[in-house]
Each structure stands twice: as structure tokens, then as C-alpha cells.
Chain A
Amino acid sequence: MARKYWKGLEELKETTEFIKHKENEFPSQQTVEAFLSNEKLDETSTGRRDFLKFLGFSVAAATLAACEAPVTKAVPYVLKPENVTPGMPTWYASTYYDGSSYASILVKTREGRPIFIKGNKDFGLTKGAVNPQIIASILGLYDSARLTGPTENGKLTSWSLVDTSISKALKTAKTVSLLSNSIISPTLQKQIDEMSAAFTANGQTLNHIQYDAVSYSAIRQANQQNFGAAIIPSYDFSKAKTIISIGADFLGTWLMATEYVPQYGMTRNPDAKWMSKHFQFESFMSLAGSNADYRGMIKPSEQAAVISYLIKGIGGNCAVSSVLNAQVKNIADQALKSLKSSKQNSLVVCGSNNVSLQLLTNQLNQLLGSYGTTIDLNNDVKLFKSEDAKVIKLANDVISGKGPEVLLFMGVNPVYSLPNGEAFGKALKQIKTTVSFAGFADETASLCSYVCPDHHALESWLDYQPTNNHYAIAQPTIRPIHNTASVIETFSVWAGKSIRLGKDSSTAYDLIKSNYSQILPLGDFAYSTHNSCETVPSNLNVLTPFKNGVLGKLPSASALEVVLYQKSAIGVGQQSSNPWLQEMPDPITKATWDNYITMNPVEMTKQGFVTTYDQEHGLNLATVTVNGKKVTLPVFPLPGQALNTVGIALGYGRGANGEAIGKAAFQTKEYGGHELDDKGGLKPIGANVFRFVSTENGNLQFDTVGSLAKAEGTYAIASTQIHHTVMGRHSIVRETTLPIFTQKGKEAYNPAHTLQKLNKEGHHEEVPNSEFDLWDAHPVEKIGHRWGMTVDLSSCIGCGSCLIACQSENNVPVVGKDEVRRGREMHWLRIDRYFASDEEAAIGQRKNKDTFSYDKAEIAAENPKVIHMPMMCHHCNHAPCETVCPVAATTHSNEGLNQMAYNRCIGTRYCANNCPYKVRRFNWFEYPSYKKFTEVNPAQDDLGRMVLNPDVTVRTRGVMEKCSFCVQRIQATKLVAKKESRMVTDGEFATACSDACPTNAIIVGDWNDLKSAVYSSSKNDRAYQALEEVGVKPNVWYKVKVRNEDNELLSRLQVEKPIAHHEEKKGHH
């Protein structure tokens, strides 16, 4: 048995559709009408004669127009700000917090408008890590659906009117409730406290409740029981030699994932002294699970048993049953072995919001001695302070008409995210005064009597205290675009302490600054703002010695357990109108623009669901019923999903009543325009499964039980999964295990490609690939620069930050679901996700072609290993695309770049056809102007265009485009060096993707600089080039993925090299 890698079940099974399509680079041919269609032509029916008339006229018009140069205007500043030089970027350090993601960021602005966000590698908790949501949030700033000012009953009004009415309501109301997300701003918290004190003094009550849509309240409660303090500790994954995660996606969305990812990345370097061993027990294949060395499939109800088994194995007492099935037991035994050797350098985390499970987790960590090493109880996390029980009570009070007189919503959208949100929304009318601070008229805000829109995060001053000893500042990077106001100012005005000062108000700034001087009496505010953060002295938490908690109800087993998870792009759905995120392929399923029911294909076959899908063929629909609530969604085949469980992503189904949350949040039709339902309303994307959230002991539960029934019809899914197939060229991905890597040489796990040639004696001899060359070499080696890149498959976790950063940097258009379905997505960088099966232990070491059966792989597909592989233009020094271009639109530079001159390109697409990596993208349409795309992409209207990078051309219809290695950044870096009369230093140049990579898996630089990181990385024993045998001499190297596992099959195959190698030679190409 050997392991085989495949990109989709279609490839694995070789369905007829797959075989039919796999020969085609572009899955479907576009019709002439569709290709020629643009807004105007499409709306009139054009006959041939009319067409020719149009043609004649437009040729004449174009000729005439061309003779007259249009007058271009230039408007210089009247008073130029000191730190702005037109044409040069200005960077600001700031902090991002949206209620669930937190990161220290750097914002790039051009002529006063922010255009790019990246992580701050020099300062902050997150060490430069960001996630796709943070990078993409820049597009939300320019969303034309944002509220342009305060509203009263849905109508725009003025701040003075709103302030008067609300202040009056606040003064007279007996009970006021403020429902907010977790407040980590010291200044805002202080204001709320002051307001509360004033209310109490006045005989009123202010009831402040913090609420997170996805709650982690159980961790706080478990720590209250164990240590006497309701805290969330800081976890340090960089010290954990053994990581055990029970359903916690700590690389994607769990707690402070942006802090954990770089820590985790540090432990995944096989060249370092030690490499962490990561075990994941989960139901849904999460991002963390896909990176695990060992992954056990369990149902949510089996989580307790796994922890109990481990507790008992370590030598602790546990009353909970620890019966596991053979497959899980096997992995748990491995985990025990690893835990026993790493002891206190272990970390166990659990994703469940069940207090008992968290108590068990704490018990295991206590037994291991992790407290004090990998877990810091003193520097606790201030995020995620959700008080679920109070939220549920408030909701029930409102529904039963016992609500407060004034209800304020800050950073929350309970009508969307509460299990009983619909009823809550209906009952809101009964409350005299409801106020939302949302920037959009979202589900909750549209039902409120007043909306006092807060600034976008990039427009406002804010301060944060994410952990006990960390203080951070967010500074504005643009003058507020709309007539919005900082919440801090709004509170101050309502408290009668300041007056409205409009867009240039400094109220929030003054308050934050004065609060800063109290927190850091010796601090320099300007300096702290420049760095965006400071370490602050903190008091140690008052903790009691560890005391076992009282176990309550554990998740109960059922025939069908439903896991509600978050996608790394959409999260809890705050940015569902962000088309970059909607179109980002999910790291695991590679599906875009939808949520779905994930189910193991083994089970799907049994239940009669189709497990394959493509452009024409959708997936079967099914109805999941939980607590009497029903949701109908397509059933998506996901290997690795535990049997008898299904997973559904939260964060979809936004704008169910057509709320104005942005045009990209709704389904669109094939030829433009939004899909409408029977009543003429907009159709949301996917379905809202927050309604399935249940409660246990007052805590919101995201694992629940239900039933599933097949429904009528099929549903088309737009996935990038089966596009760009690797066609069995299995020299693309290489992997090995840590024991092989440390004990054997390069020959075992990363053999060089050889070809046969005749030697002088006339015998065949194996010689390295490099001896064969079709063309003369470009003079790039050692002369001038040679820009290169290495991608470490061991540290790449597949999060997708690089993809969004690339989209933001390079003005990559959004094409919408329909076009993705046709395989016409435009992403310059994609992340190929390869599932492995035990049919083939490693790439290139396959079984005999005659006896090998794809069908057999099906059994192993139940719980596959996963490899994430970022794939972008390889800038081949012998680029096949360059030789076939009839107009020399794509050529090679003497710095090793494969250049693309859009203005030369005539769109023959020969280059894409000839590219072995399939990374070239064709502009099938005029994306900036055709309505089909302007409707899904707010980056195409007047306001949205502000997000475009002015240094990168917006491509037009009919030309090819592809990764340029961020040539605009190369040129800028070189220019800085030239002006300073020095060579470009290593690390000075970074592409958008390498900038965004939270684990530093992508290294770029000048390969001709022999001291550069990229040069030494490319000379590493693990370095190889994808499809090296093709001989295109790319400037991109990958590094062999090393799993910290014992894999007998793999070690036998890799060590018994001669046979395996011989077989490889026989393999077809």
C-alpha cells in the first residue's frame, strides 16, 4: 500500500466528467455573445448588420478620439501635509480588532488613502501575523453600502437631532442595556464605567452585557472553578513540543489564532533542534487539523473520552468513560507516548464551549505541568468576555416584552447571530429606544430606532488591552469618509462632557491620550503610537491553587452530530459583503461563495448523495433539522469528516431580509444582476446556522445534534478544487517524516531528478536534469539580480493570507461565483490542497501502473493527510510561455523575472496553454465595468476604486495576467538602494505574499546575493523544484514537507530507494 495524492474526489475516482475536462486548460469555451457582451451591447439585441455598424462606428470614433488627447487635470494640495509625498506610500502602525480577530498591523496609504494592510513584524503580540479577514478589511472601508451618517428610523438625519433624542431617552429611562462585543479598549471601558456610575447615582441602571457571536465562556468558567479566576490564559505554542487539540482550530479562528500561528510556525521547522508533534482530534477537517501530524476523527460526543483516555494514560483519575474506537485509540496512544516524553512542554487545547470538557482539558494540562510553561495564567487574554447566560436572558426578556427602555448595540448583531434572533428582532419594536453603532444598516441596526454609525477601524483612534500586560493603539489612516463618529466621542457627548466636533473631532484622541498618561505615566504617546503598542506593568492575577472542578453535562451522543465551524475567510460573517473573502477558496474544501453541509464521502455514498460535482453538475441538497429549525444546503464531500457528523459553516445567510449590508453579500445571476426570491427580495449567500446554536449550562454550544434528510434538487458549487489538475505529474509535492529526514540523507526523501543519456561508451547513464538544455541560458545567474522564492511546505499552513494580500496588492479582480464555477477565477496565487491517501505513501513512489487501482484509494480517503501548496508564477528561466507568445508580450528579464506586458498581449492564450504550473489568468471580461462583476465587486464603483494600488495597472479585457513577483515592489526597493548608494539588502524586498505569511513559509530575495536567506534556503537539502523534470528552470523552490510522524510505509519506500526509484522511471508522464 502506498499513499496517493489527489486534488479532488473527481481526480481520485476518475469520473467521466473529470476525464473529459482534465484535458482542457479552460473548462469551458465561452460563447461569442458572452465574450463580446458588455453592458450596452448586452441590453440591446444586436443583429449582424447592427454589429458591423457598431464596429464601423467604433473604429471611426476610436480613431477620431485618439487624435485628440484628453485634458488631464492635476490638483495639488493647497497645504501639503508634512509626511505626504505624492507618489510615495506612507505607512502607519495601527491595531486591528473586530471582536474576534486581533493583530498589530501596518497600513500603507497613498495620497491619504489606505490601500494595503500587513502585519507588524517589529512590534506587538502577533509578530506580524494577520489573517485573510484582516487584510481584506481594507476593502470594507470603501464599501458604498456603509452608512453615510446617523439615521432615525432608517432615514438619514443629523448628529445634533440624534444626540438630543438619545440623550433625553437615556436621562429618562429607568433601565438601559448595552449589548456590546468584548470591550478591550481601556478608554471605552472607562466611559462605560463612568456612564454606569452616573446612572446609579441617578437611580437608573445600566446593564452592560458583553456578547461574542462565537463564545469561549466555558474556558473562563472552567478556570474560575480550577483557579478561582474567570480568565482565558495566554497559550504559548512556541514552547509546546507536543500539541494536542481537541476540536480547536487554533490556526484558523480559535481564540487568538493570529498570535498562535507564528508560534506554531516556529516549531514546525525540521532543521531546528526540535519539531513539535501535533495531534488533532476533531470532527470537521479544520485548518489546524489539516496541518496535524496525526489526526483522529471523532464525534463531538467523543471528545470527553479522548481527554479522559489521555488523563488516565498519564496517570490521573477520571470518572469519564474512555472507550475509543481502534483508529482513535491508536492515535491517542501515539499522543500519550509523545506527552510522556515532552511532559510540561505540552499543550492541550479544546475548542468546545462545554465547561466540563474545558475542566477535563485543564486537568490534563495540570497533570502534564503545562501551567507555567506553555500556559500563562497571569498574562491573561482580555478578549472573549462573552456572558452567554446574561445575553440569553436579555434576549428572552426582550422577546417576552420585559426588555429595558433603552437598548444599545455596539459591535454586535444579535438579530443575526442569536439562536432566537428572529424573534428577538421582531420584539425590538416594543422597546422605546434602540440604538446601534453599526457601520451598516445590518440585521439589527435596520430594526433600531437610531443608528449612530461608528468610524471604520481605519478611520478612528482607539486603544486596546488585549492581554494583561499589553497595551496597543489604533490610529486613523484616513480622514473619515462619511459623516460617522467615534463611539468614544458619542458616549462623551451623551454624557454631556463634550460636543460634536464633526469629522476632524479630536475628542476620542484626547480621551485616549489622557487615559494613556494614566496607564503609562512615563510613556510617550507619540512614540507608542509610532510603534502601535507598549508593554504595561500588570498586576498578577489572584489565583488559587489548582482544584478539580465539578463535571457537569457532557455532549451527548446522537446518530447525527452537527458541528458549527467558522471558515477562515468568513468567520462569524462580519465581512460577508467583502467579495475578496467570499471568493477566497476555503483552505480545505476550496469552495467559494457558499456554505454547505460537509460529510464524509464514504457516508455520502452510503446515503445516496453524489460525491462529485463540476460546472454543470451540482451537489444534492439536504435538510438538516436541529431543535426543530431547518436549513437546506448542498451536501459537500469532505474527506476527514468524522462519520455520523456533519459540519456547517457559520457566518453565512447574512442579509436574509435584504438588509443593505453591501451588494457582494447576495447571490448573483449568471449574466449579472442579483438573484431574487419569490417576493422580489435579495437572496442571501448560504444559510444562517447561528439558529442551530444551543445552550448548555448557560453557555452557547456550537456542537449540537440533529437529523438530516435528503431534499429535492441539486445546487451548483463554485470550487477551485478540481481546476488546474496536476494530471498525475507527481513530482510536484514531496513529503517525508521527521525520522527519515533526520536519519537519512537527501537521496532518501528528496532525490534529484535524473535522465538517461548515452555516455562515450554508448551505454545508458543516469545524469542530473541540469545537463539537458533546449535553450541557451538567460544571463541571470550571478549577474545583476536574480529574484527567487522558496516556499517551505513544512511551515505553510494554507491559511490563505498570501492569496488575499496578493489580491489587494495587485488589483486582482473578483469574478463572482458563476465565473469561478467555470474555472475563470483570477487569483494570481492559489493554494493547492492535496489530499493524500494511504494508497501511496509519498509522491513519486507509486505502485506498478498495471496493478495500481484508484478505487482502492477510496478506503483511505476517509481521513487523509493534507498538504497545502501555494502556487504562483515560477518565473522559469526557460519559460515555456515566453517561447510561444506570437507578439513577445511575455518575455524574460535579466533579473530572472517572467515579465508580462499587458499592452502587447493580444490574448491568444498560448502561454497559459503552455504553462506547466497553470498559473496564468486570462481576462475574459472587462471586469471593472461589466455589470456582472461590478455587482459582486464594490472595488469597481467610484468609492471602491480607492482601494486600487496606483502602481499596478488595472488589466483590460482580452489580456493575460499572472504573478509578477510584485515587480512594482522590486523596482521600488532597487530605487531606494540606488538612491542610498548601496546594494539591496537581504530582506528589504518582500512580495505581498511573503509579507503576509504568518509562518514565514515564503522567503523571497536576490538569489545572486550569496548571503541571502533565499539563496541558503534554496540550497537546503529539502529544497526541490516542482516539475523539475520538465526542465523549465524555475526561480521558485519548494521545501519538502516533513511530518513529525512515524510512517512505516513511507520509511520503507523512501529507504528502499532503488526499487522505488526504478518504479518512478516507469511511471507515465
Chain B
Amino acid sequence: MKISNIQKVKRNILGLTAVFTILVFLLFPTSLWADGGGDFKAKCSSCHQPHKNSTGPKLFQARQKWSTGGAKEGSIYQWVNNWQTAVANDPYAANVSKWSATAMTAFPELSKEQINGILDWVDAQPDPALAAGGGSGNVVNDPAMEATEEEGGGFWFWVILSIIFFTIILSVGGVRRQLKISVGEGGSDDEQTYLSELKTWAWKYRLPVGLGVLVIVISVIVTIFQGLYRINVVENYQPSQPIAFPHDRHAGVNGIDCKYCHNSVTKSKSAGIPSVNVCMNCHKQINGEGKPFAGEIKKIYTAAGWNPAGAGKYTGNTKPIVWNKVHVLPDHVYFNHSQHVVVGGIDCKQCHGDMTKMNETVKVQPVSELNKIEGNVKLTKPTLTMGWCIECHGAKDVPLGDGKNGYYDEIHRRLRDNDKSLYKKYLKDGKVSVSELGGWECAKCHY
């Protein structure tokens, strides 16, 4: 395995950047806006961006703008809590309300500290337009890929080695036979054929030959079965898409929560591909003009029937986008997203990988990638296979009786009160796993 010089340099840069970042983090009073980022993503990011106008105006240095613009003291906090109150009290705010016809959602629950936290966080965000070119975000260090390569190399190594050995054996045998013939040792009258010689030889060493044959047969069978198990298992499956949608830009750079677009993930069995009207929430403003990806955004407009000319308007002439499904389960499998996300509390990335770093169209993440995600159980079976599900169900525990879910509290009570020995058996490994509660049963997924 070689690492090119360029890669080395890149790694060094990466390391330096990391150190620098950590220093910056340490120097700044991080606690002040530690929550600000989270609040921004949860409450603001669907309409606002730090450095760019979208549904709402950009928020970078909003406070300065308000105070230099002549707004009353504290008016901006009033605005966030309920913009109508602010409009009534402050002419500057009244002016701001004319920025767009879209009314801002009221956030009465946000305290002044929280709002400051959000705005501090926003002000600390570097402008991506300025940062472009010097970015180090997209370099993906991929030891997994290298590991696979290594494994692959290993396989061919053995194949070549065995071919070499086989050739050597054959040639040695041939030489030996030639020698025998020339010496005249073997047959005076009838010449021994290869086959009969082989038979004699095999009979002479029947124990090792028999064992060897057995080993070969078993390994052939195992190989065939392993091959069969991999039929239709496509790790890294990455179909082409009608729109080159960059997840890293949406979920990563802009910090949009996965559930904002895939909003049925908490309600339904399917996470849902966002309907075009969800895209339009932001892309009504963000048209990408002059950017290389403007064409991609145009495709959304075509689908939504949106004519961006002037103030823009819907023509009603819609055209649904036909996506290619990435995560495809067979018809006889029932999988429910909300079960895993809401009840199981699993984060999207635990099965789908870190989408904030995914700068290409979506693909199925190989299990080796997923194993690197923090908090994931280390699994061995390929992603989206039944073995993968089963493995996780066997390893994951269900917190029982912690008072967090009334359903499991009652299940816990029934188990604890009515069959102590079974409960103890379950708890032998210190946890009650999903499988012990029935997560391995056929009719949990097949009906």
C-alpha cells in the first residue's frame, strides 16, 4: 500500500487544521453559543441562512444591522418572540416586516440569552463565499476503501500462489515421470498413464488425500453458499438521480435537519422523499443564479411549475420528479422508520451514514462505513441484508423500566413480576436485547 506524497501533504494539512480549530474553539467562550448552533438548526435554518438571504434575510451580524439601522434597544428580541409586537413598537421593525410577504413564525419560547446564543453562533460562522477555495471540507480519508483493496489484493495473491504451486506440482510430476520412463524403472511392457499413476498415488496416500478432498469439497460448498448469499446484495449501490442533489450542502453546510425534508420519518414506515413543495420552501429564494448548479435548481422549478421571472409564480403545470430508489427492500419485508427513529431513538446516520459529508448522489453505505459512526454497534453483514438487521437486533438493548417509555415500563413490569427466571436469563449479558423481546421473530417484519 502506497501513500502518495500529495496525500501525505493533505493529511498534514488536515491535522494542522484540526489543531487550529481546536485552539480556536478553546479560545472562544464556546459555552455561550454552544446551544446556539443547535437552536439555529432546529428553529431558524428552514428559513434563514447566516450569509445568504433565503425565505428570510441572512442573519449574519443582524444585531449590528438593527442597532446601526436605528432600531430600539431590545427590539430584535421582541421580533423573534413575536414579530407583530415588535412591528407595533418599533418603526425599524415595521420596516423589516416589509422585507418579504412571508410572515415569520413566532418563537415566544426563546429567551434573550438563547437568541443571543443563536446570533453569536451565526456571527461566528465564516462566509462560505470567502472560504471557498481554501476549504478542506471534502477530503475524505477512506481507510475502508484501502482495507478492501488490501483484502482484494490478498485474494488474488492466494489465487496466483495456488496457480504457481499447481504448475510446480504438475511440472515436477511430469519431470519425475519423464525420469522414470527414461530410467525404465516403471513399466517394462505397459506404460502407466497419468490416471492410473494418479490412482496409485492417491491410494498410497489415501488419508491425506481423503482429508484434502474433504477440505476442498467443504470449501467449495461454503464458497458457493457465500456467493449465493451475496446475490442481489449490492453494497455501495448508487443509482443515478434526475437531480444531482448534494446532501453535504443541505444537511452539512446549511445544517438543515434530516427530518425537515424527510418529515414522515417520525410518522410513517417510510422516511419519504420530500415533495417538491418542501424544496420550494427554500428554493423559491435560492435559485443558484450564476452558480454551476443553477441548472439543477431549475429542474425543481420545472417540477413545481414555478416561473421564477419577476416575483415568481406557480403556473400549475407540475411534473413530478422520478427519483431512483437507493434503499430498496424486498416486498416481503416490512420496515418502519418511525419505529426505529422515534421509539428506538436511532439517528439517521447510524444506518445511512453521515450525510453531511456526502457530496455525491446518495448511495447505500457499506457496513464498514457505518461501523465508524459513533454509537453504532459493530456489524459484519452487508447493509440492508437480513443478517444486518438480525445482528443489530441481537446486540442492541431495549432500556426497560427506566420510566422513559410507558410501553416498555409495562412490558418490564409484566416480565419482572411474572417470570423472574426468564428476566434473569435475559439479563445474563447485562441487557435485554431487541431479540429477547421478540425482535428476531419472523412476523415482526414478514407478513
B268 at the interface (CB under 8 A from A): yes
A775 at the interface (CB under 8 A from B): no
B424 at the interface (CB under 8 A from A): no
- CB atoms of B336 and A975 under 8 A apart: yes
- CB atoms of A71 and B239 under 8 A apart: yes
B-side contacts of A981, CB under 8 Å: 404-407
Tell me what chain A mostly uses at the interface: helix, strand, loop, or mixed: loop
Question: How many chain A residues touch B (Cβ–Cβ < 8 Å)?
Answer: 53
B-side contacts of A66, CB under 8 Å: 231-232
Q: Which listed residue (A63, A783, A902) contacts B422, Cβ 8 A?
A: A783
Q: Which listed residue (A73, A78, A895) contacts B324, Cβ 8 A?
A: A73
Kindly provide the distance from the CB of A110 to the nearest chain B CB, expressed in whole angstroms. Answer: 11
A982 at the interface (CB under 8 A from B): yes
Q: Which residue of B lies closest to A951 (CB)?
A: B334
Do A779 and B447 contact each other (CB < 8 Å), given the known contacts A75-B322, A80-B277, A983-B407? no
Q: Which residue of B lies closest to A981 (CB)?
A: B406
- CB atoms of A983 and B410 under 8 A apart: yes
Q: Which residue of B lies closest to A79 (CB)?
A: B277
Q: Which listed residue (B334, B414, B442) contacts A784, Cβ 8 A?
A: B414
Kindly provide the distance from the CB of B95 to the nearest chain A CB, expressed in whole angstroms. Answer: 33
Q: In the docked arrangement, what's the CA distance between A1058 and B267, Å?
A: 60
- CB atoms of A87 and B275 under 8 A apart: no
B-side contacts of A779, CB under 8 Å: 419, 422
A904 at the interface (CB under 8 A from B): yes
Q: In the docked arrangement, what's the CA distance between A66 and B405, Å?
A: 42
B104 at the interface (CB under 8 A from A): no
Stretch at the interface among B27-35, B42-50, B202-210, B325-333: B325-333
- CB atoms of A88 and B405 under 8 A apart: no
A774 at the interface (CB under 8 A from B): no
B106 at the interface (CB under 8 A from A): no
Kindly provide the distance from the CB of B10 to the nearest chain A CB, expressed in whole angstroms. Answer: 34
A899 at the interface (CB under 8 A from B): yes
- CB atoms of A79 and B334 under 8 A apart: no
Do A72 and B324 contact each other (CB < 8 Å), given the known contacts A77-B275, A87-B264, A983-B407? yes
Q: In the docked arrangement, what's the CA distance between A564 and B337, Å?
A: 55
Do A85 and B267 contact each other (CB < 8 Å), given the known contacts A76-B272, A782-B414? yes
A894 at the interface (CB under 8 A from B): yes
Q: In the docked arrangement, what's the CA distance between A897 and B404, Å?
A: 28
Q: Which listed residue (B232, B278, B318, B404) contacts A69, Cβ 8 A?
A: B232
- CB atoms of A85 and B232 under 8 A apart: no
A-side contacts of B303, CB under 8 Å: 78
Kindly provide the distance from the CB of B261 to the nearest chain A CB, expressed in whole angstroms. Answer: 10
B443 at the interface (CB under 8 A from A): yes
- CB atoms of B319 and A87 under 8 A apart: no
B304 at the interface (CB under 8 A from A): yes
B343 at the interface (CB under 8 A from A): yes
- CB atoms of A901 and B405 under 8 A apart: no
- CB atoms of B343 and A72 under 8 A apart: no
Q: Which listed residue (B231, B342, B414) contacts A979, Cβ 8 A?
A: B342
Within residues 253 to 307 of chain B, which ones have a CB less than 8 A from any CB in chain A? 264, 267-270, 272-278, 303-305
Stretch at the interface among A353-361, A823-831, A963-971: A963-971
Kindly provide the distance from the CB of A875 to the nearest chain B CB, expressed in whole angstroms. Answer: 11
Q: Which residue of B lies closest to A888 (CB)?
A: B442
- CB atoms of A69 and B438 under 8 A apart: no
A-side contacts of B180, CB under 8 Å: none
Do A891 and B414 contact each other (CB < 8 Å), given the known contacts A75-B320, A78-B303? no
Q: In the docked arrangement, what's the CA distance between A79 and B316, Å?
A: 10
A-side contacts of B339, CB under 8 Å: 975, 978
Within residues 877 to 923 of chain A, which ones have a CB less than 8 A from any CB in chain B? 891, 893-895, 897, 899-904
Do A899 and B272 contact each other (CB < 8 Å), given the known contacts A783-B419, A968-B334? no
Q: In the docked arrangement, what's the CA distance between A952 and B331, Å?
A: 9
A953 at the interface (CB under 8 A from B): yes
- CB atoms of B444 and A971 under 8 A apart: yes
Within residues 200 to 254 of chain B, which ones have a CB less than 8 A from any CB in chain A? 231-232, 234, 237, 239
- CB atoms of A78 and B343 under 8 A apart: no
Kindly provide the distance from the CB of A992 to the nearest chain B CB, expressed in whole angstroms. Answer: 13
Kindly provide the distance from the CB of B239 to the nearest chain A CB, expressed in whole angstroms. Answer: 6
B-side contacts of A902, CB under 8 Å: 332, 446
B-side contacts of A326, CB under 8 Å: none
B377 at the interface (CB under 8 A from A): no
Q: In the docked arrangement, what's the CA distance between A764 and B276, Å?
A: 78
Kindly provide the distance from the CB of A76 to the nearest chain B CB, expressed in whole angstroms. Answer: 4
Q: Which residue of B lies closest to A979 (CB)?
A: B342
Kindly provide the distance from the CB of A786 to the nearest chain B CB, expressed in whole angstroms. Answer: 10
How many B residues are at the interface, by size bracket? Answer: 35 or more
Q: In the docked arrangement, what's the CA distance between A67 and B342, Å?
A: 35
B161 at the interface (CB under 8 A from A): no
B441 at the interface (CB under 8 A from A): yes
B-side contacts of A88, CB under 8 Å: 264, 267-269
A515 at the interface (CB under 8 A from B): no
Do A982 and B331 contact each other (CB < 8 Å), given the known contacts A78-B318, A79-B276, A783-B415? no
Q: Which listed residue (B270, B342, B343, B441) contacts A87, Cβ 8 A?
A: B270
Q: Which listed residue (B234, B304, B411, B441) contacts A893, Cβ 8 A?
A: B441
A-side contacts of B315, CB under 8 Å: none
- CB atoms of A901 and B277 under 8 A apart: no
- CB atoms of B343 and A76 under 8 A apart: no
Do A783 and B414 contact each other (CB < 8 Å), given the known contacts A74-B323, A967-B443? yes
- CB atoms of B328 and A72 under 8 A apart: yes
Q: Which listed residue (B270, B321, B443) contacts A899, Cβ 8 A?
A: B443
Q: Which residue of A lies closest to B344 (CB)?
A: A978
Q: In the docked arrangement, what's the CA distance between A954 and B332, Å?
A: 8
Q: Which residue of B lies closest to A891 (CB)?
A: B442
Q: Which residue of B lies closest to A964 (CB)?
A: B447
Kindly provide the distance from the CB of B318 to the nearest chain A CB, expressed in whole angstroms. Answer: 4
B-side contacts of A951, CB under 8 Å: 334, 447
B114 at the interface (CB under 8 A from A): no
B159 at the interface (CB under 8 A from A): no
Q: Which residue of B lies closest to A984 (CB)?
A: B407
B437 at the interface (CB under 8 A from A): yes
B338 at the interface (CB under 8 A from A): yes
Q: Which listed residue (A63, A782, A977, A979) contacts B338, Cβ 8 A?
A: A979
Kindly provide the distance from the CB of B253 to the nearest chain A CB, expressed in whole angstroms. Answer: 23
Do A85 and B332 contact each other (CB < 8 Å), given the known contacts A76-B273, A782-B414? no
Q: Which residue of B lies closest to A782 (CB)?
A: B418
A-side contacts of B274, CB under 8 Å: 76
Q: Which listed residue (B232, B415, B446) contacts A901, Cβ 8 A?
A: B446
Q: Which residue of A lies closest to B234 (CB)?
A: A69
B-side contacts of A967, CB under 8 Å: 443, 447
Q: In the docked arrangement, what's the CA distance between A86 and B334, Å?
A: 14
Within residues 282 to 323 of chain A, which ones have a CB less than 8 A from any CB in chain B? none
Q: Which listed residue (B276, B325, B331, B410) contacts A74, Cβ 8 A?
A: B325
Within residues 394 to 445 of chain A, which ones have a CB less than 8 A from any CB in chain B? none
Q: Which listed residue (A78, A79, A86, A975) contacts B270, Cβ 8 A?
A: A86
Across the A-B interface, the 10 shortest Cβ-Cβ residue pairs: A899-B443, A87-B268, A782-B418, A901-B442, A80-B275, A983-B410, A77-B275, A72-B325, A87-B270, A76-B273
- Measured CB to CB, the residues of B under 8 A from A are 231-232, 234, 237, 239, 264, 267-270, 272-278, 303-305, 318-325, 328, 331-332, 334, 336, 338-339, 342-343, 404-408, 410-411, 414-415, 418-419, 422, 437-438, 441-444, 446-447
Q: List 26 A-B contacts (CB under 8 A).
A: A63-B231, A67-B231, A74-B324, A76-B272, A76-B276, A77-B276, A78-B276, A78-B305, A78-B321, A79-B275, A79-B276, A79-B318, A80-B275, A85-B264, A86-B264, A779-B422, A783-B414, A903-B332, A951-B334, A954-B331, A971-B447, A977-B407, A978-B407, A978-B408, A983-B411, A1008-B414
- Beyond contacts A77-B275, A783-B415, A951-B447: 8 other A-B pairs, Cβ-Cβ < 8 A, are A74-B273, A78-B304, A79-B318, A85-B267, A85-B268, A783-B414, A978-B408, A1008-B414
- Measured CB to CB, the residues of A under 8 A from B are 63, 66-67, 69, 71-80, 85-88, 779, 781-784, 891, 893-895, 897, 899-904, 951-954, 964, 967-968, 971, 974-975, 977-984, 1008
